[in-house]
Amino acid sequence: MCMYAPHGCGDCDVLLACFDPAHRIALTRPETLGDGRPSTLPAIRRRTSEPHRQTAARLARAMAPAGALRFGKVTGRIPAVAPDARRQLRAERRLFTAHVPAPGDLHPPWDGVQLVWVPYGEAAAQVAHLAIADLDAFLQGYVEGWIPDGWITLG
């Protein structure tokens, strides 16, 4: 099972934008800061024939005690479009939204990685390497409440 993709989660199918009460978003980053890997959204690869939502629930269970993480009502659909000719994405991805009552209730689900909390307005710039079109507008619209509940296609 791939829980962390060292080259920007290009091979992960499910990403999680997890908000705390101050509207900060949890990003993962290697504890060894000099290794060149950037901060990223928590992400996981789907198992064969596993629905995206089930994969997201598996990631949530790995990151928080039962009941500590509540999924949001908006999910981003990220089409399978390669950002440049050198990189191919396997399939479309999903960006789930979630909420945690306190930052201390969430932990990274793998060793050698830590969580950092950034304001939602800064998160898209921190994870630009994920090539998620319109991520900044998605996060802003979600927090400010002008994106309707349901599925939103990014890009």
pTM of the model as a whole: 0.85
Percent of the chain with pLDDT over 90: 58
H-assigned helices in 64-129:
120-126
**44-48, 105-109, 127-131: lowest mean pLDDT where?**
105-109
- What are 24's two structure tokens? 């900060």
Distance CA 16, CA 137 (A): 16
The residue among 34 and 14 whose pLDDT is bigger is 14
What's the start-to-end Cα distance of the chain, in Å?
Answer: 28
The HSE-up count of residue 21 (CA atoms within 13 Å, CB side) is 6
At 119, which amino acid appears?
P
Q: What are phi and psi of 121, to 5 degrees?
A: -70, -15
- Residue 116 pLDDT > 50, yes or no? yes
Work out the burial of residue 84: count CB atoms within 10 Å of its CB; fewer than 13 is exposed, 13-18 middle, 19 or more buried. exposed
SS3 (DSSP) at 105 = helix
Structure confidence by residue, pLDDT tens digits, 41-59: 999 999 999 999 999 999 9
Mean pLDDT of the residues in the chain: 84
Work out the burial of residue 91: count CB atoms within 10 Å of its CB; fewer than 13 is exposed, 13-18 middle, 19 or more buried. exposed
pLDDT value at residue 123: 96
CB count, 10 Å around CB of 25? 26
- Residue 124 pLDDT > 60, yes or no? yes
